[in-house]
Amino acid sequence: MSAPPVNPHRALAIAMAVTLFGLGGLGLALMTIFIPDALPRLMPASTGECVKSLGIGTLFASFSLIPLLLLLQTPYLRGTRAFFAGLMTDYRVQTWHIWVLSFCAGVGEELLFRGFVQQYLGIGITAILFVFLHGYLNPLNRPLFIYGIFLSGVSFGFGWICQQYSLPAAMIAHFWIDVALLYYLRKHQAHVA
């Protein structure tokens, strides 16, 4: 493991702010400048559609988590699981961090990637780019690369539900997946040697 940051909670706060306001703000700005009709087109038009987005995002996350969590439990991904669980320890991630980090990532990253980038590159390329930029598609680390392939499928799903339903549906799916994965990794902190 790497040495923990001098102030891990400050580092987490910076990461949250950069993700929500930096990435999300960039996504909103780029949509406003280059695709002015994108945000209204990607948002639910009624309360009923908002509720539907909540349900679709939650349902997608529920089904996506099954293969992700099963894969993380395999002995093949023990090192990957230990690495991320170690980060949870290094940054002293608490319960409230999990919820806020997941919210910031779900909103900020989806505004940029599904709200703007996907409008130009399409669902597939955006999905792969999203996972690549997170560092999961590293061919030098085969277990992490395999996990990244599964995450690319999940990212493709974010794009599809954004296109078919709404941007908030993708945000909600992203949020729930992050919450569940971060809780899973925190649970496994104790098993990191």
CB-based burial of residue 190 (10 Å sphere; 0-12 exposed, 13-18 middle, 19+ buried)?
exposed
Q: pTM of the full predicted structure?
A: 0.94
Average pLDDT value over all residues in the chain: 94
Contacts of 33 (CB under 8 A, 6+ apart): none
The pLDDT of residue 193: 42
Rounded to whole angstroms, the Cα distance separating 70 from 85 reads 16
Residue-wise pLDDT for 98-137, tens only, equals 999 999 999 999 999 999 999 999 999 999 999 999 999 9
Residue-wise pLDDT for 135-170, tens only, equals 999 999 999 999 999 999 999 999 999 999 999 999
Q: How does DSSP classify residue 1? A: -
